[in-house]
Amino acid sequence: MKDILIITPPFTQLNTPYPASAYIKGFLNTKSIESFQMDLGIEVILELFSKKGLTDLFQVDSNSKSENSTRIYSLKDEYSKTIDSVVSFLQGKNQSLARTICSGNFLPEASRFNQLDDMEWAFGNMGMQDKAKHLATLYLEDLSDYIVECIDENFGFSRYAERLGRSANSFDELYLHLQKQPTYIDRITLKILKERINEIQPKLVCFSVPFPGNLYSAFRCAQFIKSNFPNCKIAMGGGFPNTELRELKDERVFEFFDFISLDDGELPLELIYNSVSQTEPAEDVFKRTFILENEKVSYKNNTTKPDYKQSQVGTPDYSDLLLDKYISVIEIANPMHSLWSDGRWNKLTMAHGCYWGKCTFCDVSLDYIKLYEPVAAKTIVDRMEALILQTGETGFHFVDEAAPPALMREVALEIIRRKLVVTWWTNIRFEKSFTADLTYLLKESGCIAVSGGLEVASDRLLNLIQKGVSVAQVAQVTRNFTESGIMVHAYLMYGYPTQTIQETVDSLEMVRQMFELGIIQSGFWHQFAMTAHSPVGLNPEEFGVIPLQNEISFANNDINFIDKTGIDHEQFSYGLKKSLYNFMHGMCFDYPLQDWFDFKIPNTKIASDYIYSCLEKDEDFSFKPSAKVFWLGTKPEVSSFTKSKKGMSWQMMELTFQTKTNTFQIALEEDKANWLLLLLNKISVGKEVVYTQQQIKSEFEMDFEDFELFWFSKPINQLRNNGLLVL
């Protein structure tokens, strides 16, 4: 028995658990509240995509059979025969199968494989394992197409009945759908759920609902629990209610749920648990929680207790989850998307909220953005070590809104001090703090990729968005990351209010130049969406848009609107995405921009060398007294020699440094070389005392003159390129 059962309803990701339940379980551990968590989505997928699951699936009668589904059905025995081996391979347990998959005539092939001819060039450089993963992914997608056509039109690997949850201002459609008989997928879901509740016997079942594609299943499961386990209380929290259900009024929702909480879930859940657990009637105290009171929806926020600090919420706990059963897939040839869908990542957060918190398209009015609270670097790395021990995985995805550069620096230094071997990636703002030295440090600590918002590559619109960056600055920062060996993914936006056609074309040209110069390796265009809690949604008249709003009784987030410019931004969608796909694969940079569109566009006003000119810069000889200096390299080998010139001779020292990939030497006068050797020892990353440039200058000038002349000399510059960092 456990007190609480925490459920992520179908479906989120195939390759890694959504982290909310692990965060909550980690917190409950600090309160000695026993809990059990499950990712119901992966359990349904594993049951469905098995030999028995497919055998049962193909026995379901279907009136709808296209040519593609007819072919899949005809090959049903081949699918049933191969499915267990393929899933095992995608779980990382049967790697030798890659050769069989790649050799052909093993996987049954339907319409998804038609794209292979077009994709062969994109995947030509893939290793055998990755190519086999991609083929196996197509195989699963064929089966998914069959399920959608013949079994359940709402099925999707990372979402289920998403349409019913996306900005459903009224509960009517979802409520009506829930009155129908459970679908085939529902029946699998509810069978697993029933077994788990019988096993756990919880007092409280909590559904963490991150996205619209999890909402229907959460309601279907709650409905089942109400009918079959009436003594269980049921709560909902997570990203979807946090953003969409803040104006909830429909009493029918509480036919399914007893509690719906908003924002940070730790204290609300603790108080809900206290309410459920109390044996004698008492006044209920809640934090940001909807309940049904006197047949009306009531919002309760009547506790005086403050939310827990990030240092108090504990380390995420991934126990109970089927960590060795997740499925790594490779859907498309986008390097950042492959990080999201391939491999299992421990998810952590460096800071609660966003340190910037100004972007006008973002939900900056909500707590998850506006309440910024960083976690101490040592605590973060403590949590990393704890998760490595628990999960056996050394890969980390920091799921911050935008990871703070100063905290990233401290985390990187702490990782290096502890000699941890980890791989990590995160989301950032492309701000000037990401110098070449900082990106070098991040790479040395295990950072492999960053994603950040370039949004509309136009300085006027970036200013209107209040992004706090310029196109030139983004170019310089992405160059720093790229030269350090860290992959860069850019979020790109079109259709922002007041954006002109000329600005869309010019933005595309900026993006083309960045990919051509190789300073961005991955990107994705999305059309601007106005949300209720963003500055644009809260003050639409200031941004030249007219909202089209319905009466709100259920969900409210995405708002339809009319752009006063009258421009149909949707017409750019295909051309922007097609051009980007080619740029990502190093192709078609010489195509005129007009070639990507089947309607007339204006010529770009951006000079063809604009981004290149942004990257040209003079040597930086600025001296920042407060900057901290670190040495990441090794102790050099030392040899002495005599240098003579014009009848004069003096002692010199040659210092030979070994890096992981090369060897280099520097030569200095003997006294300065000895001073440098002492300095490198003192500023080594593992040392307790941290030195600033001013402290180093002061020590140097106790024995020598012209510190700047020495510090910006060619020998020191060689060290600066090989691990002598000024941060």
Higher confidence at residue 557 or residue 36?
36
3-class SS at 291? strand
What share of the chain has pLDDT > 90, as a percent?
85
- Alpha-carbon gap, residue 396 to 409, rounded angstroms: 16
Give the residue from 400, 408, 407 showing the smallest Cα distance to 368.
400
List, as one string, the DSSP characters of 132-180. HHHHHHHHHHHHHHHHHHHT-TT--TT-SSHHHHTT-SSSHHHHHHHTS
Distance CA 643, CA 664 (A): 20
Pair of tokens at residue 150: 């013949």
720: pLDDT confidence band, cut at 50, 70 and 90?
A: very high
Chain segment 155-177, per-residue pLDDT in tens: 998 877 777 777 689 999 999 99
Average of per-residue pLDDT across 318-326 = 96
230, burial (CB in 10 Å: exposed 0-12, middle 13-18, buried 19+): exposed
pLDDT of residue 674: 96
Q: What is the mean predicted confidence (pLDDT) over 131-155? A: 93
Q: Are 66 and 37 contacting, i.e. CB atoms less than 8 angstroms apart?
A: no
Cα 498 to Cα 565: distance, rounded to the nearest angstrom: 6
**Is 119 a residue whose pLDDT tops 70?**
no
Tens-digit pLDDT profile for residues 49-78: 999 999 999 999 877 679 999 999 999 999
pLDDT at 251: 97
pLDDT in tens, 464-509: 999 999 999 999 999 999 999 999 999 999 999 999 999 999 999 9
Band the pLDDT of 123: cuts 50, 70, 90: low
Decide: 198 and 167 in contact? Cβ < 8 Å. no
Q: In whole angstroms, what is the distance from residue 589 CA to residue 185 CA?
A: 45
pLDDT in tens, 569-585: 999 999 999 999 899 98
pLDDT-derived band at 335, boundaries 50, 70, 90: confident
632 forms beta bridges with none
Q: Is the pLDDT of residue 118 over 60?
A: no
- Give me the pLDDT at residue 227, please: 97
Confidence tier at 550 by pLDDT (50, 70, 90): confident
pLDDT at residue 526 greater than cutoff 80? yes
Mean residue pLDDT across the chain: 93
Q: Mean pLDDT, to the nearest integer, of 272-276?
A: 95
Which pLDDT does position 620 carry in this prediction? 67
Q: Is the pLDDT of residue 117 over 90?
A: no
**Rounded to whole angstroms, what are the CA distances from 197 to 19, 36, 317?**
21, 10, 20
Q: Has residue 439 got a pLDDT over 70?
A: yes
Q: What is the pLDDT of residues 203-233, one digit of tens each?
A: 999 999 999 999 999 999 999 999 999 999 9
Which residues make beta-bridge pairs with 237?
Answer: 208
Q: Is the pLDDT of residue 124 over 70?
A: no
Q: Where are the domains of the chain?
A: 1-41+159-314, 61-150, 332-615, 628-726
- The strand order across the sheet containing 558-563 reads 530-531, 558-563, 545-548
What percentage of the chain reaches a pLDDT higher than 70?
97
pLDDT of 121 above 60: no
**Mean pLDDT to the nearest integer, 295-306:** 96
CATH number listed for the domain at residues 332-615: 3.80.30
Distance separating alpha carbons of residues 486 and 473, to the nearest angstrom: 17
pLDDT at 636: 96
| AA letter at 91 | Q
Give the CATH number of domain 1-41+159-314.
3.40.50.2300
List, in sequence order, every beta strand (DSSP E) within 145-246.
204-208, 233-237
Structure confidence at residue 622 (pLDDT): 78
Residue 81: predicted pLDDT: 97
Give the pLDDT band of residue 125 (cuts 50, 70, 90). Answer: low
The per-residue pLDDT for 219 is 98
Mean pLDDT for the stretch of residues 114-124:
61
Instruction: Tell me if 632 sits within 8 A of 723, measured CB to CB.
Output: yes
Give the tens place of pLDDT for each residue, 181-194.
999 999 999 999 99
Q: Higher confidence at residue 39 or residue 624? A: 39
- Provide the pLDDT for residue 333: 62
The per-residue pLDDT for 129 is 86
pLDDT of 704 > 60? The answer is yes
pLDDT confidence of 414, banded at 50, 70, 90? very high
Which residues have CB under 8 Å from 391's CB, separation 6+?
A: 318, 323, 344, 346
Whether the model pTM is above 0.85: yes
What pLDDT is attached to residue 280?
65
